[in-house]
Amino acid sequence: MSDCIFCKIIHGEIPSTKIYEDDEFYAFKDLNPQAPVHFLVVPKKHITSLMELEESDSPLMGRLLYRAQLLAKQEGLGEGGARFVFNCKGDAGQTVWHIHCHVLGGKRLDDGFGAK
């Protein structure tokens, strides 16, 4: 998609701090980190959100999750753990309309409901 910020990042039109790239995925550090380690794993195939997946996308998403956990370990989160987040549509906080997995860690994270 020509107006998608993540498509532009993937194609090198917008700079990013890349941590991984292959034929299917691009991973980069979040510009507004919410934890000491915060990066995104984005499929190169443009899919608007998790809510728009088709059954044929299942293998791709499995590989995305596998890659995300490998990258989490690479970034030092293997011992303490990581949070993997998909924000899906506006009410859930999705602001970029290209599916992506946030990977966060490096400190104890609040559960989002007030408990730690």
The residues annotated as belonging to the active site are 100
Pairing of strands 82-85, 101-105: antiparallel
Distance CA 9, CA 53 (A): 22
Distance CA 69, CA 71 (A): 5
H/E run at residue 18: strand 18-21
Residue appearing with tokens 């753990």: 81
